[in-house]
Structure formats: structure tokens, C-alpha cells
Structure 1
Amino acid sequence: MTSILLALFGSIVGVGAVALLHLKWRGDVRSRAFVAGGWAAVAVSIGLWAIAFEPDVGAAFAVLAMTVVALGLVGRGVDLPALGRFPSVRRIPNPEPGGKPSWTGVAARTLAVVAAAPAVSMSLGLLVWVVTPAHESTRFVLAVFSFLLAFAALLVWGLSAVRPWRALGLITLLGAAAAVPVAAAL
């Protein structure tokens, strides 16, 4: 019964956290304290779920629950022409002449997606595998989870960068930094 109450309270805190972050994202709130409070509430929610159920299962369910709430909040009010009304959404002008993408930018984005993002995310997954002090199966689950999370984040970063070559270089440097401790441990 206690675990159900902790999970329920964790869900309530998680919904509040996502709502705070959503308000700041939309530009309805100007205070940066909402961002700090939102992320602190995310951590509290994950902690409560981890206490309610085992840490590996509870943390996964907490993140999943908050993701569903976030998708619901973002998806319920999607009105693409209205995005220009929000001051937090800034439209970046296309730096390319004539509004057409350059071949070098396409090449950098392709390298980021096809080569750099998978290699760097695998390197980050192996880094989690190497440095996590846990049982082998827990390390495996955390490594796969961090690999998927890093892969998604790097894909978004590589595809949405205004300066794709800079993003490709930074992604490559991140992979090199993650590969050094992995190589040292092997």
C-alpha cells in the first residue's frame, strides 16, 4: 500500500514538474526559478517512484509517465500558425542564399546522423557500462538506456543545428572524450 501511495504522489509531483516546464517553454512565465523548480520536481518524482518500486523499474516508469504527460501537453495545443505569437519561439532566418540548403550543410548533417551520432552514442553507452558500480545486468540496462537517450539527443542536435559543421565537430569531440575512459578500462 505504501508503494502505491508513493507512486501516486510521485505521479502528482511529475505532472506538476512537466506543467511548470511546459509553462516556461511556452513563454507564459518569465522567471527562471520555474525551470529549476520543474527539474527539481522531476528529480523528486523519479526518486519517489524509485523508492516505491525498485530503482531500475521505478525510475523507468517515472520517466515514462512524465513523457506521456509532456506529449499530451505539447500535442493538445498544437497550432502551427500560432507558434509565431509566443515570444519564446524565435524563427532563425535561413542563412542559405535563396532559402535552399547548401550541399556542405547536407553533408555535415548526413555525417552527423549516419556516422557520428551512432558511434558517439555507443561510446557513451559503453562509458555508462564501465563507470556504473552495479550488478552486470543493471549496468547492461543502464548502458542500453543511455545509448538510446544519447542517440536520440544527438540526432536532434545534428539535424537541427544552424551550423551543422560545428555541431558535427562538437559531437565528435564528445565521442572522443567518452571513448578515452572506455579505452582505458578495456
Structure 2
Amino acid sequence: MSYLLFLLSLCFIVGLVGVAANPSPHFGVAGLVLGVIGGCGGLVVLGGSFIGVVLFLIHLGGMLVVFAYSVALAADPFPKAWGSYFVLVRVMGYGVLFLFMVWVLGNVLLLGGLGVTGLDCFGLYGVRGDVGGVVSLFLAGGPILVLCGWGLMLTLFVVLELVRGWSRGGLRVP
């Protein structure tokens, strides 16, 4: 299980570096998807199965809207790809910065004695943390949940109308 958590953490880090290093939305969204898969998969492995799946679905919906909007407004006919020199230099810089942060935080956490634990319960009366959140969400927050869903649907229609443009598409180059 620790190997799976390590692999998902690595996917999360590579995805974040891919988003930060790539200036083009066409290729940056691949890093964003990889980062979300790694982060939500790590939550599921650590025991937060409900919150991991909900965050995955919310991030996929948000990424779809942001990606469609940014690609429609990007006027770069030849975006910088993963193999270009500019992107590789930025990936190396972010990788060195990440290794330095891991070294600093690793020393701080080793001195403090903190660790990563999951949400799994033991015994008959244990209730997992994410299941209690589901009950509270649907009992006390039902109307707010419906209102938020309506707002997200309205936002989707507004973004789709903005991207559509005036019958020529979102990219309006003379």
C-alpha cells in the first residue's frame, strides 16, 4: 500500500510541476489531470474514500470549464509543448525547488515527530470521518447543496455562451 501511495504522490508532484512549468493551456491540462488523479487517489488510499471521489468529480468539472474557456481565448497558433527548451528549463527549476522544500520540511517533520495516518477506524463503534461529513451534508445542507448545483449550472451556461462568441467561435483573430 505504501508503494501505491508513493506512486500517487509522485503523480501529484509531476502533475503540479507540469501545470506550473507549461505556459500553454493545451498541454498544461494534462498535468492538471495527472495532479488531480494523484491527489484524490492519495486521499482514497489514506482512507478518505468519499472526499477523494467527490473532489475528483468536482475538479474534473472545474477543469473542463477552465480548459474550454482558456483554450477558446488563447490566440497562440503554435503553443510551447512539453519538449521545448523553455518548458524543460522551468521543469528543472521547479524540480530543484521541490527537492529543497522536501529536504527542509523533512527535517522539520522528523524533529517534530509528525506522521501521516489514515481515517480507518478500529472496533465496533468507530465511525469514519468522511461518512459523518456525508450525513451532515445531506441533513443540514440539502437546500444549500441544491442552490450550489443551480449556481454551477448557471455558470456553465454563461461560460459556454462566452466561449461560443458571435457565430465564429471563441478565437477571433482578424
TM above 0.5: no
Q: Which has the higher contact order (CA 8 A, sep 6+)?
A: 2
